[in-house]
Amino acid sequence: MTWTEAGARRLERSGLAGEPAAQDPAGIAAAMCGAHAQVLSAAELSLMLRTDRGTRTAVRDALWTDHSLVKTYGPRGTVHLLPAADLPMWTGALSAVPAGAGPFAPDVRLTPEQTEQVLAAIEDALADAELTIDELGEAVVAATGPWAGDLVMPAFQGMWPRWRQVMHRAGRRGVLCFGPNRGRKVTYTSPRRARPGFRPADGPTALAALVRRYLYAYGPATSQDFATWVGAPPAWAAGLFATLADDLQQVDFAGSPAWILAGDTAPPAAEPSGVRLLPYFDAYGIACRPRDLLFPGRAAKRALAGRQAGNFPVLLIDGTVAGVWHQRRSGRRIHLTVEPLTPLTARQRRALDTQVLRVGEILEGTAELTMGTVTVGPHA
C-alpha cells in the first residue's frame, strides 16, 4: 500500500474527504477515535470541520444536554471527547494498558495500595455530585488521610497534592469524567450519573476493539504506532498485536511492514484531495504515520515542535501537511492567518476560503483571512 492510497483511506474514514463520516458530534468522534480536548474550542473545530453543517453549540449540547459525548481522559492520558456509547470500550481498554512508573520521584509516587484508596475515594465522592478540583481534593483527603494532600507534585506555578497524579487513571477506570463548568471553574463527576448502569468492558475484548477502530481509521500502522498513539509501552503493544494476529493482515506500506485489518484491502474511492484547516492536536495529525511523510520537508520544521505533532494548527492539502495557521478572536470577528509552505493554486485558494468561512460558522462568528507568516510559537 502506498502513502497516497493510505492517505486517501484515512481522509475518507476520519471524515475529511467525500461524504462526512457522520453528522452528529458523537458519530464523528467515533470515526476519528476521539477528539483531543485539552482546549475545548480546538475539539469543537476538530469535530465540526468534519461535517458540513452545525456549530460549536452542537458539541456543547452533545456534552451537557443529551450526553452523547463525554469529556474525560483518553489516549496518552490526555483530555478527549469520546462517544458516550463507546465509553465501556474506551475505559475497558485504557484501564488495561500498563500504567508504568510515571514521571515522579519515588518519594512522590503513590503506592499501589494508596492508588486504589484514592480511586475508591474519587468514585465515592463523585457518585452523586459535580465537584471542583478543590472540593474533590477535600473529599479524597478526608476519605484517605493527610498523605493524599501533601503538596509534592510540581505544577505550573506551585505544587499539587499527591492524590492528583491518578486523575487520568480515574478517567481511564471510568470513575471520573468532566462535568459542566461552574462559572470559570472546571467540575468533575461520575459518568454513571449520565449513563446509569455504565461499566467498563472486559479488558482484552475492549483492547481488541480499540485496535480494530484505530487500524480502520489510521492504518496501515505498526504496533509501535499504536503504542505511541495510546500511550503504552512498545513491547506490550507488540505482544497485543501478536495475540490479534488472526484479525490482522501485514502489508508493505511505503517500503516497510505494517498492519491493517484482515481483508481490509479495498482501494480508496479517489486520490487524496482537498484543503483542510485542522486545529491544535487534531487526531489526523497525531495518529497518522509515518510522520516524515505526513510532515514532509519544510513542514517538519514549521509544523512540528521537536518531533511532536499538534502544537501548531495545520493546513492540510491532499492529505499532507502543507502549512500552519493561527486564529485570533475579537468579539464576533475571528482573524485567521494562514501560512502555506508553497503557493496555492486557484482551486486550492477557493477551497481555503470555504474552510475559513466554515471555521467562522462553527465558532459562531465572522472569519477573516490573511495570507502571511504565522508569528506565534507552538501552542500559542
Q: Is residue 338 part of a domain?
A: yes
User: Model confidence over 174-195: pLDDT tens digits?
Assistant: 999 999 999 999 999 999 998 9
Of 175, 193, 211, the last residue of a domain is 193
Cis peptide leading into residue 220 (ω within 30°): yes
Dihedral class, residue 308 (left if φ above 0, else alpha if ψ from -120 to 50, else beta): beta
In terms of Cβ atoms closer than 10 Å to its own Cβ (0-12, 13-18, 19+), residue 313 is: buried
Coil vs helix vs strand at 370: strand
The predicted-structure confidence for 31-71, as pLDDT tens digits, reads as follows 999 999 999 999 999 999 999 999 999 999 999 999 999 99
Q: Where are the beta strands (DSSP E) in 38-120?
A: 69-73, 79-83
pTM of the model: 0.95
Last residue of a domain, one of 193, 218, 242: 193
126-142 confidence digits (pLDDT tens): 999 999 999 999 999 99
Cα four-point dihedral sign 359, 364, 368, 374: negative
Query: What is the average pLDDT value for the chain, to the nearest integer?
Result: 95
Q: Does residue 299 lie within any of the structural domains?
A: yes
Give the mean model confidence (pLDDT) for residues 314-330. 97
**Each residue's pLDDT tens digit, 228-287:** 999 999 999 999 999 999 999 999 998 999 999 999 998 888 889 899 999 999 999 999
What pLDDT was estimated at residue 107?
Answer: 85
Checking if the pLDDT of 100 tops 80, the result is: no
Is the pLDDT at 103 greater than 80? The verdict is no
Report how far residue 339's alpha carbon sits from residue 349's, in angstroms, rounded to the nearest whole number: 12
Residue range 116-124: mean pLDDT, rounded:
97
Cα–Cα distance, 282 to 32 (Å, whole number): 9
Q: In what order do the strands lie in the sheet with 185-189?
A: 131-132, 185-189, 177-182
> Does residue 201 fall inside a structural domain?
no
Q: Give Cβ neighbours of residue 205 (< 8 Å, ≥ 6 apart).
A: 92
pLDDT at 368: 96
Nearest to 355 by CA among 259, 277, 267: 277
- Other CB atoms closer than 10 Å to residue 260's CB: what's the count? 20
Both 179 and 307 in a single domain? no
All three cell numbers of 27:
458519530
Query: What integer pLDDT is reported at residue 151 of this predicted model?
Result: 94
In terms of domains, do 188 and 281 share one? no
Q: 220 lies in a domain?
A: no
Neighbours of 345 (CB within 10 A): 11
Among 123, 158, 193, the domain-final residue is 193
Split at pLDDT 50, 70, 90, the class of 19 is confident
Q: Is the CB of residue 311 less than 8 Å from the CB of residue 305?
A: yes
In which band, very low, low, confident or very high, does the pLDDT at 158 lie, cut at 50, 70 and 90?
confident
Cα 19 to its chain centre, rounded Å, is 22
Residues 324 and 189 in one domain: no
Q: Taking 70 as the threshold, does the pLDDT of residue 99 lie above it?
A: yes
Domain that holds residue 351: 275-371
Distances (CA, A) of 347 to 53, 218, 352, 353: 22, 27, 9, 10
The model's confidence at residue 380, banded by pLDDT at 50, 70 and 90, is: low
- Both 165 and 25 in one domain: the answer is yes
Structural domain tally of the chain? 2
Q: Are residues 75 and 188 in the same domain?
A: yes
pLDDT above 70 for 371: yes
Position 122 scores a pLDDT of 98
* Residue corresponding to grid cell 468514585: 123
Are 186 and 302 contained in the same domain?
no
Judge whether 290 lies within some domain.
yes
Question: Would you say residue 81 lies in a domain?
Answer: yes
Same domain for 88 and 178?
A: yes
**Helices 203-218 and 223-230, interaxial angle, to 10°?**
110
Helix axes 87-94, 203-218, angle to 10 degrees: 110
Residue 76 lies in a domain: yes
Is the same domain home to 168 and 285? no
pLDDT higher at 153 or 101:
153
Residue 96 in domain: yes
| Domain match, 57 and 167 both | yes
What is the percentage of the chain residues whose pLDDT exceeds 90?
A: 88
Identify the pLDDT of residue 270.
86
Cell, residue 30: 467515533
Residues 189 and 280 in one domain: no
What pairing do the DSSP bridges indicate for beta strands 333-340 and 366-371? parallel
Residues 92, 94, 97, 99: is their CA dihedral positive or negative?
negative
- Give pLDDT tens digits for 335-346: 999 999 999 999
80 plus 184 within the same structural domain:
yes
Phi and psi (nearest 5°) for 133? -60, -35
Q: Is the pLDDT of residue 101 over 80?
A: no
d(Cα 138, Cα 120) in Å, to the nearest integer?
A: 14
